[in-house]
Amino acid sequence: MVKPFVPQLIYVEPKALEYPLGKELITKFEDMGIEIRQTTSHNQIRNLPGDNHFQRYRVAKSTLVVGLRKTLKFDTSKPSAEYAIPFATGCMGHCHYCYLQTTMGSKPYIRTYVNVEDIFEAAEEYMSERAPEITRFEASCTSDIVGIDHLTHTLKRAIEFFGQSEYGQLRFVTKFAHVDHLLDAKHNGRTRFRFSINDDYIIKYFEPGTSRLHERIEAAVKVAEAGYPLGFIVAPIYLHEGWKSGYHEMFEKLEAMLPEKAKKGMTFELIQHRFTKPAKRVIEKNYPMTKLELDEAKRKYKWGRYGIGKYVYKDEEQADIKATLGGYIEKLFPHAKIEYFT
Ligand code: SF4
């Protein structure tokens, strides 16, 4: 059982202490006896403890920076939402394939933003631009927000903020089971709570530091009972020996554990494994012993944004994934909706 995240080291930007959440967090971490260092900006963080890259990388992944979100321009977040809403960046998990390794480069520490009201105000503007169309905000593009929320409760505030909104909806996804503090949030059905799931082989070999499948499903049951719209992202779909039976078992477990009422209106998003050349280099550096297959010759090259193409499965493998997983879902969850396969 993975315990709720406790940072090993805290950095605080002085301006963060001008916000109630900044003060509250620092008091909390002082009481917990965690080392707290000052930094003018997260960009100035140097000298993390550790003798080599490997050790420093691991310390960074359990370092939390309490700071401000300066850019209030939101990125787009297709296909699952219109915008990415930034409450945190980084994650304490150690999934070998995680895209944050490339996007965060040499700064893999976790950042939480205490100017939450500013972020809500920006969201308000995005919603009014599109009203009366609904605007969906994705809160987990740059972090596993649930994984740190037991410390900050920012996500809980966001759930209640969108619960009150007329034209906004919130969604996020997690691999962590620490959801108890979110169960009584007044969501008004405007937040879709999703869990990222995978078969046992993939969780065992590639997702260290995250909650196990049965823990995620147990958390999903609580979330469904709290009346949240529920969803699952199966990602990354990865072809290993025995993948068909692995995924079949996963869906069967899910079907057996979920209450009937949760299965109506439930959504699935299916995302195949992909990697870029820069990602491959970073993965090999951070997780040199990984079993993750990153052989370009076995994949299909797909042109991407900014000229960085990615390697996805070949067409016939993609068709097989779609038919196999789609078939399991249709059989076991006839009332669920597959939102997309990508
Ligand atoms: Fe990345 Fe998600 Fe794993 Fe965290 S839990 S390391 S965000 S894939």
* Alpha-carbon distance values, 197 to 109, 201, 204, 238 (Å): 24, 12, 12, 12
DSSP string, 218-239: HHHHHHHHTT--EEEEEEEE--
| 235 in any annotated domain | yes
| 279 in any annotated domain | yes
> Based on the number of CB atoms within 10 Å of its own CB, is 335 exposed (0-12), middle (13-18) or buried (19 or more)?
exposed
The percent of residues in the chain predicted with pLDDT above 90, rounded, is 91
Beta bridge pairs of residue 340: 269
Cα separation of 291 and 26, whole Å? 39
| 4 in any annotated domain | no
- What order of strands is seen across the sheet that includes strand 88-89? 35-38, 9-12, 63-67, 110-113, 88-89
> Residue 246 maps to which CATH number?
3.80.30.30
According to the model, what pLDDT value does residue 34 have?
Answer: 98
| 278 in any annotated domain | yes
Cα separation of 261 and 239, whole Å? 32
**Closest ligand 1 atom to the C-alpha of 97?**
8
Mutation pick for ligand 1 pocket among 64, 94, 98, 234 (CB with most ligand atoms within 8 Å): 98
Q: Do 260 and 224 touch, CB atoms closer than 8 A?
A: no
Q: Do 310 and 276 touch, CB atoms closer than 8 A?
A: yes
- Cβ atoms within 10 A of the Cβ of 245, count? 11
Angle at 193 between CA 189 and CA 198, to 5 degrees: 155
Q: Do 209 and 178 touch, CB atoms closer than 8 A?
A: no
Length reported for the chain: 342
Q: What is the CA radius of gyration of the chain?
A: 20
| 117 in any annotated domain | yes
According to the model, what pLDDT value does residue 49 have?
Answer: 87
Cα separation of 169 and 189, whole Å? 9
Q: Whose CA is nearest to atom 8 of ligand 1?
A: 98
For 334, what's the count of Cα atoms within 13 Å in the CB-facing half-sphere? 1
Q: Whose CA is nearest to atom 6 of ligand 1?
A: 93
Residues 122-181: pLDDT tens digits?
999 999 999 999 999 999 999 999 999 999 999 999 999 999 999 999 999 999 999 999
Number of domains the chain is built from: 1
What range defines the domain where residue 110 resides?
A: 9-341
Residues 103-118: pLDDT tens digits?
888 789 999 999 999 9
| 305 has pLDDT over 80 | no
According to the model, what pLDDT value does residue 306 have?
Answer: 75
Give the CA dihedral 310, 315, 317, 321, nearest 10 degrees: 90
pTM value is 0.96
| 229 in any annotated domain | yes
Residues 173-231: pLDDT tens digits?
999 999 999 999 999 999 999 999 999 999 999 999 999 999 999 999 999 999 999 99
CA–centroid distance, residue 18 to ligand 1 (Å): 30
| 3 in any annotated domain | no
According to the model, what pLDDT value does residue 109 have?
Answer: 95
**Closest ligand 1 atom to the C-alpha of 99?**
1
| 2 in any annotated domain | no
CA–centroid distance, residue 31 to ligand 1 (Å): 28
